[in-house]
Structure 1
Amino acid sequence: MQSTLAVGNDANAIPSSSPAFGTPAHPIRPIVPATITATNSSKPVVLPVLIPATSLRPIAFRTFTKKHSLTLTSSALQALATFVGKNCGAKWREEGLAEKVLEEVARSWKKSRGSGIVDGADQELVDILRGIELSMVGGKIVAATSGRRTAPTLVREDSVNAGQMETLSVSTPQSMDVQQETEDICQDPRKFLKVVSLFDQPRLFYDPNRRHFEKVSKSPSLLPDPSQKTKIFRDRYHLVQQRILRNESFQAPTIKRGAAAVNGHASLSRTESSFTQQNAYTLTPIANLLGRSGSNHVLLGLLTTLPTGQLAISDLTGSIVLDLSNAVPVPKGGSWFVPGMIVIVEGSYHEEDSMDGLRLGGGGGVGGTIGGKFAAASIGGPPSERREVSLGITDHKKNDQSTGGGFGWVDFFGVGSEKSFGSKMRTTESHVWRVGSADSKRSKMVCIGELNLDNEQTLGALKRILSLYAAAPVEDMPMAFILVGNFVTNATMAGGRAGGSIEYKECFDLLASILSDYPTLLQAATFVFVPGDNDPWPSAFSSGATTAIPRRPIPELFTSRIKRAFATANTDTDRVPCTELNGEAVWASNPTRLSLFGPVNEMVIFRDDMSSRLRRNSIALTAEDESDEIGEGEMDMEHLQEKDLTSQTLTASRKLVKTILDQGHLCPFPMSIRPILWDWASSLNLYPLPTAMLLIDPEAPAFAVTYEGCQVMNPGRLLAEGRRGIARWMEYDARTKKGLVREELMH
């Protein structure tokens, strides 16, 4: 948005001598007689700004059209943009002031007129805006005009002396706004559910100089500058480095310890999910290894493969050959290690003069591979950081913000920052969950993975699941169904049964006919469709191989019948009055994010064959003992319904979850293994950690694991492998933040 100070239209207004300081349009105010005083004389001043109508359009569409079913004309949108810029100032977006104003305008319009079209030339809109302006203080509405809230009371204080004038003061209850919003809250939590495409997510990067997140100023492109490729890994390194330096194990203690503790050697070991603080660890830049042969160090860098085939570790200062022949993973059997991951390595440096191997050259040490090698004694992933720590929140009830460098003011996903909206949204969340019964399922989300529409058994399993939920009372139906591809067995337009676009569209037409048999579900739930690698259009040239991520939603060419099914269900005259919201179909990107109650709950949905890719490209460590498992204190495993769950399956699930969340990235691989779109790489970061994550991997067993407060779930395949006639899916409870693998026998 281009913030420009508004200029008054009054011809007698004195122009500002310093526009950069934002002098108000009318700097000279009429003189108030000394005999008249007001208790609100310290009214905060709002500096007006010029807001383009296009910048206000998304908020206006969400408030007027989707929430109140009103249509805005272009003149009305321009009038609202001018009003918000004048009365809310520069913080109209950051503090949510514009949304509150538009909400009040929409309510007043429906109460006074009731017509569905809001016209800027209508005198009624002018009167509504004039009334709201009189009730605003400092950009906020302190007294509503629609009559839905308690009106302000004028308290008249009679003067003691006859010569003194009367004093008028406005008093409003402090809990008035919260109480009214609580009364107006829709019991359907879908009102606060938002699907965020990774292409619409704000593109942020961590600035190590300012120690804060900054927005990328350049517009994204599919063909960016080649320097953007190296910037991807540099940004990842800065993000992980700042996270590690805030970890207590890497901070020097302020209290002196004994001589034995200070001089003792610190080794990497873990208790639960973080390094034990036997001593404060110090990260050494690779360039600083020169001239320090035989000394022990801890390195943080990117695991890479040199053109010679040797493993190396690289940071922003240089690279060095890595010897992992005696390295012990920390913890044993706890993580995968693949080139492209950022790792912490402890060991000793040996210069090339004391080596019998080849000279690697490049003795300068800056920007290239330095001579010598680094013999690693232990290797591990960077320790994860809980979501509360990243956002700087120590007490949700008091909305207490710590001063330890949390990023509570950063709007990571375009739904508002934690500091601005977290407290309010938590109050709303507690009320919504309190309104329903204790066993209400409106807090449930159903995820179905690997939905092959060209398989008759898959369609039969889908019908069984939908009929199970459709038979429940309307108030107990899930609020969302997440249907994840691949939606066809073979890549579209790459041969096979789904050989072309016509056959692919027929599969979705068949899905539309199945969904039409359950109109109550279409009326009361949100259906989210996430594509896989076999879905168009990337499959047209990849033939089902790995495609670049993030990837666009399924094209509208194939979704017309499903949209028509939802429109028919929502206009059905016999529909039950379960909610004021209509059901909808959302075609999401892969990956995608779901926001529930703003920044309070965030779910990441990602369809990828992650486990098989890790097994194919992982580094085999000779000192690794696969029989050792992760400590029980690190993760909580939600018990599956399978009675024959083996320890090997349990270990594999935990290993997969720990690897991804420790890396804090959805794609910790080189570009040759898993390509990504360079300008959207920042949207793949898992920072801060989400509240929940759906990692749909058909090659991995179904599981639900909690790690560092993040619930990671995998529904697996819809048709359980090796178990004929069994349909399997995931059910996630947004209230308890727990997932459950469910199974049902198909008839």
Structure 2
Amino acid sequence: MFASADAKSALFRDRYDIIKQRLLNNPLFRDASSFENENVREDQGKIFKLTPIPHISTTPPAHHVTLGMLTRMPDGRYHVEDPHASVPLEFPNKVARTPGVFTETAFVLVEGYWTGEVLRVETVGMPPGEGRAESDKSYKNIDFFGGPKSTESPERLLFLEKRLAEIHFVILSDLWLDQPKVLSHFRTLLSAYSTPDFTPPLAFLLCGPYSSRPYLLGASHFDAYREGFNTLADIIAEYPRLRESKFVFIPGPGDPWDTKVLPRARVPKTVTGRVEQKVPGAVFATNPCRMKYFTHEIVLYREDLATKLRRNCVVPPDEDEEPDAHVHLVQTVVAQSHLCPLPLEIRPVSWAYDAAMRVYPLPQTVILADRCDPYDVAESGSTFVNPGSFPTSGWSFVVYYPGSGRVQHSKIPN
């Protein structure tokens, strides 16, 4: 957990290397050295030459496109930085930009004019994403997911996945166990799935926080929190038809023992004993957590990411070009290949476990559970879903069918 100081620099260096490698797989981008190769010809159309940042500061005034991390120096000026050097940036009153939320420590593409002292920014953009199909071509025999391997062939698994198209997951967030109204509506949901009219889901994916108030150390909060889980265990046990379904719990902000550092450990066993005893399919996972359904990889992450990204942006999103704020959020996650592309002082990440936050290669489905309005966005061949907040979004939840990729936004009527 407590890594050496070298791990912090390695964290950003690894993020940079992943994005640069992804860019160089894109036919629109080439490293500057590639242009010395006769295979790169003018008739190949528009190709962006990436100039390494150390080379910019040693060249006469000229236009450049470069990749680097957006950094604020102690004097308040912004620089773009790679593992070897940095150059200062000069932003005009209006700068062209691609969809995305540009925060400090985000890796960005900058196009501008080097004056000899500063790089005058003309366009700032998110690095283009890479779909899962393209990544798989580069890593045919590498299993990034890990875990036990199936004895079935990938073709057989894909066939079964498509054939069982009605298998589904129920996803909801902010299951406040200290609120009777929340428990009442959750009971209504379970009752519906216990009738012959509905097929029980393969799993209920239940994101926290599990209390409407942040957990504070103390006997009263501990007893109330544990009692909430005890009540939930009794409710689920009332529906024997759901004994075959999994109940997966992903902790959220404010759940114990919240150290504010990502990735988050599971909800402690000291409060979940009755659930694990009475609910055979209970799984208490980390945040984020990963699961696999045949060939389909799913990542679940509970964070109020939309608000934090917008609050810490350096360059505001271009809402004239793309008015949907959810698209800007998804583009940022895809471009950064990271679930939490925020400065470490805003949302700390354990230096040694930053890899747990990465989404490269892209999973087929990413659940970004957030308090903002529900949405689903298709990007780079993957589906990004937010079920919204169960108590504050009108009792909203999502039914997801991984075999077909169908996302069904649903609500429990009052």
Does the pair score TM above 0.5?
A: yes
Report the more deviating stretch, 278-287 or 501-510: 278-287
Deviation at residue 473 of structure 1 after TM alignment: 5.8
Alpha-carbon separation, structure 2, partners of 1:558 and 1:509? 8
- 2:408 aligned with 1:740: yes
Alpha-carbon separation, structure 1, partners of 2:62 and 2:230? 67
Deviation at residue 326 of structure 1 after TM alignment: 5.0
How does 1:571-720 map onto structure 2 within 5 Å? 584-597=281-294, 600-620=295-315, 625-629=318-322, 651-698=324-371, 700-720=372-392
More strand by share: 2
Task: Tell me the residue number matched to 1:727.
Answer: 395
Deviation at residue 731 of structure 1 after TM alignment: 0.7
CA separation of 1:240 and 1:432: change in aligned 2, threshold 3 A:
closer
Task: Tell me the residue number matched to 1:269.
Answer: none
- 2:140 aligned with 1:427: no
Deviation at residue 278 of structure 1 after TM alignment: 4.4
Alpha-carbon separation, structure 2, partners of 1:737 and 1:230? 38
How does 1:88-487 map onto structure 2 within 5 Å? 222-251=1-30, 254=39, 256-257=41-42, 278-326=45-93, 328-331=95-98, 334-351=99-116, 372-392=117-137, 406-415=138-147, 424-431=153-160, 433-434=162-163, 441=166, 443-472=167-196, 476-487=199-210
CA separation of 1:424 and 1:254: change in aligned 2, threshold 3 A:
same
Contact 2:162 2:404 (C-alpha < 8 Å) held by counterparts: no
Question: Which runs of 5 or more residues in structure 1 are unaligned?
Answer: 1-221, 259-276, 352-371, 393-405, 568-583, 630-647
Alpha-carbon separation, structure 2, partners of 1:299 and 1:739? 38
Alpha-carbon separation, structure 2, partners of 1:414 and 1:327? 45
Match for residue 275 of structure 2 among 552, 562, 565 = 562
Alpha-carbon separation, structure 2, partners of 1:464 and 1:324? 54
Contact 2:365 2:383 (C-alpha < 8 Å) held by counterparts: yes
Q: Report the 3-state secondary structure (helix = DSSP H, G, I; strand = E; otherwise coil) of the residue aligned with 1:619.
A: strand
CA separation of 1:653 and 1:697: change in aligned 2, threshold 3 A:
same
Task: Tell me the residue number matched to 1:528.
Answer: 248
Q: Report the 3-state secondary structure (helix = DSSP H, G, I; strand = E; otherwise coil) of the residue aligned with 1:292.
A: coil
Alpha-carbon separation, structure 1, partners of 2:107 and 2:296? 27
Contact 2:69 2:108 (C-alpha < 8 Å) held by counterparts: yes
1:352-378 deviations in whole A, cap 9, x for unaligned? xxxxxxxxxxxxxxxxxxxx2111100
Contact 1:224 1:678 (C-alpha < 8 Å) held by counterparts: yes
Deviation at residue 426 of structure 1 after TM alignment: 3.3
Deviation at residue 492 of structure 1 after TM alignment: 1.4
Contact 2:297 2:364 (C-alpha < 8 Å) held by counterparts: yes
Contact 1:493 1:499 (C-alpha < 8 Å) held by counterparts: no
CA separation of 1:282 and 1:433: change in aligned 2, threshold 3 A:
closer
Contact 1:415 1:595 (C-alpha < 8 Å) held by counterparts: no
CA separation of 1:445 and 1:625: change in aligned 2, threshold 3 A:
closer
CA RMSD after TM alignment: 2.2
* Identical columns (%): 31
Q: Report the 3-state secondary structure (helix = DSSP H, G, I; strand = E; otherwise coil) of the residue aligned with 1:248.
A: coil
Contact 2:113 2:119 (C-alpha < 8 Å) held by counterparts: yes
CA separation of 1:256 and 1:304: change in aligned 2, threshold 3 A:
closer
Contact 2:161 2:403 (C-alpha < 8 Å) held by counterparts: no
Q: Which amino acid aligns with 1:409?
A: N
Q: Which amino acid aligns with 2:292?
A: S
Report the more deviating stretch, 289-298 or 477-486: 289-298
Match for residue 511 of structure 1 among 214, 217, 232 = 232
1:673-695 deviations in whole A, cap 9, x for unaligned? 11011111112111000100110
Contact 1:711 1:738 (C-alpha < 8 Å) held by counterparts: no
- 2:215 aligned with 1:492: yes
Q: Report the 3-state secondary structure (helix = DSSP H, G, I; strand = E; otherwise coil) of the residue aligned with 2:395.
A: strand
CA separation of 1:707 and 1:499: change in aligned 2, threshold 3 A:
farther
Contact 2:80 2:86 (C-alpha < 8 Å) held by counterparts: yes
Deviation at residue 255 of structure 1 after TM alignment: 6.9
Alpha-carbon separation, structure 2, partners of 1:619 and 1:313? 13
Contact 1:326 1:376 (C-alpha < 8 Å) held by counterparts: no
Deviation at residue 292 of structure 1 after TM alignment: 2.0
The one of the two structures with greater contact order (alpha-carbon pairs below 8 A, sep at least 6) is 2
Alpha-carbon separation, structure 1, partners of 2:298 and 2:380? 15
Question: Which runs of 5 or more residues in structure 2 are unaligned?
Answer: none
Alpha-carbon separation, structure 1, partners of 2:252 and 2:9? 27
1:161-181 deviations in whole A, cap 9, x for unaligned? xxxxxxxxxxxxxxxxxxxxx
Q: Which amino acid aligns with 1:344?
A: L
Q: Which amino acid aligns with 1:561?
A: R
Q: What TM-score do the two structures reach when normalised by structure 1?
A: 0.52
Q: What TM-score do the two structures reach when normalised by structure 2?
A: 0.93
1:221-240 deviations in whole A, cap 9, x for unaligned? x1111111111000111111
Contact 1:350 1:374 (C-alpha < 8 Å) held by counterparts: yes
Alpha-carbon separation, structure 2, partners of 1:460 and 1:473? 20
Deviation at residue 416 of structure 1 after TM alignment: 6.6
The count of residues paired between Structure 1 and Structure 2 equals 408
